[in-house]
């Protein structure tokens, strides 16, 4: 069984941009260990000679043709922005 | 420097495809729209939306793969690459990690002799041919993905603005093997990709406008060493100049570190072309883990042999084949062939004009001389040529028939270049056709002789060159509308 140590919790919280309290870290560690235990059950199955599944739906090749179907819906799109300026979304200053 | 070093370079090239719509929604990809006017819930990452793949994206990707000798992955699929950045509204980019559409290809490049190293990592060897060297550059894979939006920096207010018009524009990323050893080879490789993709019509590949972008992975090692050194990735390279400078600058920086016993850190660096140096772009604290996983919203793509066959059948003649055919058919110099075929647009123009009956070398001379001169003056590329091949053929015919002089033809060409006028009609309207009326010409020549006693005396005194001046004066008096040979013949006769 894989071990979730403090370094893993630290790394995952950086990736998820979450700041966890000490209590939350303990809880997260327990939760993640439980998840891994659950997933580990799959190792008990014999998958010898079984083709890997690419997608769970028995479908392929769902395409659209290259035709413009959308018009200008800026107003609707920007209605979701917490803040807007000159027709654009305002976000905290970002280094390019 | 006591040791000899070798630079090892691999490239990741992003190319914006020439589709009318985005990769997963029906928004227009047209450049230059007002901010966020080409957006919808899909390409702004609204929850609950469903992306649907644009068939043309797959076709372009396959076409590029076939042209670069790749094998096509017959079952391919899309994965999510997770990262947080405001230009990426979904917080993940839909890309291909596990089953990219094309794999294991190569292109052949040519560089001038001295700059070429023969050996490359995939065990292939360059073949020397004439004064140029040929070498294969391996292509590891080509995958399809979506572009991000654009951030506009609003520095005065401590905020940035986001325009998602570019979000979801289809890209292919072409990942090379680390087979290049110099800036010359890198540029030859990029030129090769550019012409190939332009010929296919899959993209306009403009570095300056961002429809072709290159990230350069560089490492150095002692010459003859087996393993690879620690590499850095250089971003923000939007011209061939910047790419050359960045390769020179970064390899020197890495050699400097090795020489002074320091370690090279594997990192992404940003090139500042103005300052001529690079900066660390991502600090070590930034965890680099994209946590790729299959995108459940998109079903797999099955590319049948039949589909590949259809695309193969539609492939246009590519540059190398065209160059070989020109050499065989048109009898024009290699230099001309190289320049004309550099742009498919110019090559098409050349061929159509020749098909209309013009002599190939004459067509080539107009394109390579006047057309390129005007393009250079206007800082435009060959794609900007708008005049019709029929008009160029007419112009050449008029000169052949001595209906206009070369000087007049050049004047007409300039007008034709801008306004695509019919040279025949234009010459008639403006009275530019050569005067073949012998008596009118004779009167002018007599007048020139009368007006230039000194030159006449020089000529009669044995200075044969003086006649050139008299020809020039006659041509000027005729406003260029006389046949210089007839003028000379008349002058000799009258003197």
Is the pLDDT at B7 greater than 90, yes or no?
A: yes
Is the pLDDT at B226 greater than 70, yes or no?
A: yes
Q: How far A78 CA sits from the closest chain B CA (Å)?
A: 8
Do B186 and B160 contact (CB within 8 A), yes or no?
no
pLDDT above 90 covers a percentage of chain B that reads 64
Q: State the pLDDT at residue B121.
A: 42
- pLDDT tens per residue, range B147-201: 999 999 877 778 999 999 999 999 999 999 999 999 999 999 999 999 999 999 9
Question: Does A72 reach chain B within 8 Å, measured CB to CB?
Answer: yes
Cβ of B55 and A63 within 8 Å?
yes
| Number of domains within chain A | 1
- pLDDT tens per residue, range B228-279: 899 999 987 888 999 999 999 999 999 999 999 999 988 889 888 888 888 8
Do B77 and B96 contact (CB within 8 A), yes or no?
yes
Q: What is the mean pLDDT of chain B?
A: 89
Residue A26 lies in a domain: yes
Is the pLDDT at B1 greater than 80, yes or no?
A: no
Select from B22, B26, B49, B283 the residue whose CB has the most chain A CBs within 10 Å, as the one to mutate to test that interface.
B26
Residue A25 lies in a domain: yes
CB-based contacts of B459, cutoff 8 Å, min separation 6:
B466, B467, B470, B495
Cβ of A63 and B153 within 8 Å?
no
Rg of chain B taking only CA atoms, in angstroms: 29
Question: Does A87 reach chain B within 8 Å, measured CB to CB?
Answer: yes
Question: Does A74 reach chain B within 8 Å, measured CB to CB?
Answer: yes
* Closest residue to A73, CB basis, from B39, B56, B161: B39
Nearest Cα residue to B75 out of B302, B291, B253, B330:
B302
Rg of chain A taking only CA atoms, in angstroms: 23
Question: B431-445 in b/e burial notation, b at 16+ Cβ within 10 A?
Answer: ebbbeeeeeebeebb
Q: State the pLDDT at residue B131.
A: 59
Cβ of B19 and A66 within 8 Å?
yes
- pLDDT tens per residue, range B22-63: 999 999 999 889 999 999 999 999 999 999 999 999 999 999
pLDDT above 70 covers a percentage of chain B that reads 94
Instruction: Name the band, by pLDDT with cuts 50, 70 and 90, for residue A60.
Output: very high
Question: Does A16 reach chain B within 8 Å, measured CB to CB?
Answer: no
pLDDT above 70 covers a percentage of chain A that reads 96
Query: φ and ψ at B117, to 5 degrees?
Result: -100, 145
Instruction: Name the band, by pLDDT with cuts 50, 70 and 90, for residue B485.
Output: confident
CB-based contacts of B410, cutoff 8 Å, min separation 6:
B370
- pLDDT tens per residue, range B108-150: 998 875 544 444 444 444 444 455 688 999 999 999 999 999 9
Of residues B205 and A96, more confidence is placed in B205
Which residue in chain A is spatially nearest to B30 when comparing CA positions? A68
Q: Which domain holds residue A28?
A: 20-44
A69 contact residues in B (CB cutoff 8 A): 21, 26
Do B261 and B236 contact (CB within 8 A), yes or no?
no
C-alpha B292/C-alpha A14 separation (Å) is 16
Q: How far A71 CA sits from the closest chain B CA (Å)?
A: 7
- pLDDT tens per residue, range B141-161: 999 999 999 999 877 778 999
Q: Mapped to the 3 state alphabet, what secondary structure does chain B carry? A: CCCCEEEEEEEEEEEECCCCECCCCCCECCCCCCCCCCCCCCCCCCCCCCCCEEHHHHHHHHHHHHHCCCEECCEECCEEEECCCCCCCCCEEEECCCCCCEEEEEEEEEEEHHHCCCECCCCCECEEECCEEEEEEEEEEEEEEECCCEEEEEHHHCEEEEECCCCCCEEEEEEECCCECCHHHHHHHHHHHHHHHHHHCCCCCCCCCCCEEEEEEEEEEECCCCCCCCCEEEECCCCHHHHHHHHHHHHHHHHHHHHCCCCCCCCEEEEECCCCEEEECCCCCCCCCCCCEECCCCCCEECCHHHHHHHHHHCCCCHHHHHHHHHHHHCCCHHHHHHHCCCHHHHHHHHHHHHCCCCHHHHHHHHHHHHHHHHHHCCCCHHHCCCCHHHHHHHHHHHHCCCCCHHHHHHHHHHHHHHCCCHHHHHHHCCCCCCCCHHHHHHHHHHHHHHCHHHHHHHHCCCCCHHHHHHHHHHHHCCCCCCHHHHHHHHHHHC
Assigned CATH for B438-494: 1.10.10.410
Q: Where are the domains of chain B?
A: 5-307, 317-429, 438-494
CB-based contacts of B75, cutoff 8 Å, min separation 6:
A54, B99, B300, B301, B302, B303
Cβ count within 10 A of residue B48: 5
Residue A75 lies in a domain: no
Nearest Cα residue to B115 out of B178, B190, B188:
B188
- pLDDT tens per residue, range B424-441: 999 888 887 877 777 778
Q: What angle do CA B117, B122, B124 make, to 5 degrees?
A: 60
Q: State the pLDDT at residue B123.
A: 41
Residue A56 lies in a domain: no
- pLDDT tens per residue, range B468-481: 888 888 888 887 77
A77 contact residues in B (CB cutoff 8 A): 36, 39-41, 44, 164
């Amino acid at each position: 069984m894989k071990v979730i140590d403090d370094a893993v919790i630290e790394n995952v919280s950086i990736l998820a941009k979450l700041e966890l309290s000490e209590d939350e870290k303990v809880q997260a560690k327990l939760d993640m260990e439980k998840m891994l235990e659950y997933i580990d059950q799959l190792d008990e199955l014999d998958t010898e000679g079984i083709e890997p599944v690419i997608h769970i739906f028995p479908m392929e090749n769902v395409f659209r043709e290259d035709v413009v179907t959308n018009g200008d819906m800026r107003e609707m799109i920007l209605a979701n922005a917490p803040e807007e300026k000159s027709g654009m979304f305002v976000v905290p200053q970002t280094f390019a | 420097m006591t040791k000899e070093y070798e630079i090892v370079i691999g490239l990741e090239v992003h190319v914006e495809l020439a589709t009318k719509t985005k990769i997963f929604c029906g928004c227009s990809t047209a450049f230059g729209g007002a901010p966020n006017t080409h957006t919808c819930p899909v390409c702004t990452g609204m929850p609950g939306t469903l992306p649907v793949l644009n068939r043309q994206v797959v076709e372009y990707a396959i076409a590029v793969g076939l042209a670069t000798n790749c094998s096509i992955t017959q079952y391919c699929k899309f994965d999510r690459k997770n990262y947080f950045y405001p230009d990426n509204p979904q917080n993940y980019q839909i890309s291909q990690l596990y089953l990219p559409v094309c794999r294991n290809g190569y292109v052949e490049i040519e560089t001038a002799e001295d700059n070429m190293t023969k050996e490359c990592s995939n065990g292939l060897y360059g073949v020397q041919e004439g004064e140029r060297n040929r070498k294969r550059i391996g292509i590891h894979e080509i995958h399809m993905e979506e572009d991000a939006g654009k951030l506009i920096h609003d520095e005065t207010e401590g905020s940035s603005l986001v325009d998602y018009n570019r979000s979801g524009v289809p890209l292919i990323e072409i990942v090379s093997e680390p087979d290049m050893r110099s800036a010359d080879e890198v540029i030859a490789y990029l030129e090769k990709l550019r012409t190939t993709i332009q010929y296919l019509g899959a993209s306009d590949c403009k570095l300056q406008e961002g429809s072709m972008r290159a990230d350069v992975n560089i490492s150095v090692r002692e010459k003859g060493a087996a393993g690879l050194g620690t590499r850095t990735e250089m971003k923000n390279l939007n011209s061939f100049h910047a790419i050359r400078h960045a390769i020179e600058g970064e390899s020197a920086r890495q050699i400097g570190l090795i020489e002074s016993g320091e370690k090279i850190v594997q990192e992404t660096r940003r090139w500042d072309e103005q300052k001529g140096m690079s900066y660390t772009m991502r600090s070590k604290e930034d965890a680099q883990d994209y946590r790729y996983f299959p995108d459940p919203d998109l079903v797999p793509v099955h590319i049948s042999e039949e589909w590949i066959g259809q695309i193969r059948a539609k492939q246009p003649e590519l540059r190398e084949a065209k160059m070989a055919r020109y050499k065989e058919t048109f009898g024009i110099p290699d230099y001309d062939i190289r320049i004309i075929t550099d742009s498919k647009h110019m090559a098409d123009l050349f061929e159509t004009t020749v098909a209309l009956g013009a002599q190939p070398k004459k067509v080539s001379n107009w394109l390579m001389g006047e057309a390129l001169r005007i393009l250079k003056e206007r800082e435009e590329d060959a794609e900007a040529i708008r005049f019709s091949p029929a008009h160029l053929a007419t112009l050449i015919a008029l000169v052949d028939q001595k209906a206009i002089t070369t000087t007049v033809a050049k004047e007409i060409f300039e007008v034709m270049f801008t306004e695509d006028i019919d040279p025949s009609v234009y010459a008639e309207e403006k009275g530019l056709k050569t005067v073949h009326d012998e008596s009118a010409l004779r009167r002018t020549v007599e007048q020139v002789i009368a007006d230039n006693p000194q030159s006449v005396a020089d000529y009669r005194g044995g200075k044969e060159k003086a006649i050139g001046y008299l020809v020039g004066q006659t041509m000027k008096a005729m406003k260029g509308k006389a046949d210089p040979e007839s003028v000379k013949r008349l002058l000799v006769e009258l003197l």
